[in-house]
């Protein structure tokens, strides 16, 4: 399963942003952003907000991964 915190960090860096920028956009403390990066999963509300701020559909990535894992598990 995807490590959501790592993926958020990757997308953030790909877009040329840093933790301070994301903290100002969510809004939250910078230390909370670093904690988000460490999480394997996060709540839907927070992920939705981060998706909006970054303009990136993390939900689709997660959904696509679930479909792949289900297909692999069913021998398809």
**CATH architecture, range 4-73:** Orthogonal Bundle (1.10)
Q: What is the pLDDT of residue 1?
A: 84
Q: What is the pLDDT of residue 75?
A: 52
Q: What is the pLDDT of residue 53?
A: 99
Q: Is 72 exposed, middle or buried (0-12, 13-18, 19+ CB in 10 A)?
A: exposed
* Predicted TM-score (pTM) of this structure: 0.91
Per-residue pLDDT of the chain (76 residues; tens, 9 = 90+): 899 999 999 999 999 999 999 999 999 999 999 999 999 999 999 999 999 999 999 999 999 999 999 999 865 5
Report domain extents, the chain.
4-73
């Amino acid at each position: 399963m995807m490590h959501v915190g790592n993926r958020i960090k990757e997308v953030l860096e790909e877009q040329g942003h840093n933790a301070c920028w994301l903290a100002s956009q969510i809004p939250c403390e910078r230390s909370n952003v670093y904690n988000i990066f460490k999480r394997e999963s996060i709540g839907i509300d927070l992920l939705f907000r981060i998706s909006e701020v970054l303009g990136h559909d993390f939900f689709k990535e997660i959904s696509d991964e679930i479909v792949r894992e289900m297909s692999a598990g069913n021998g398809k």
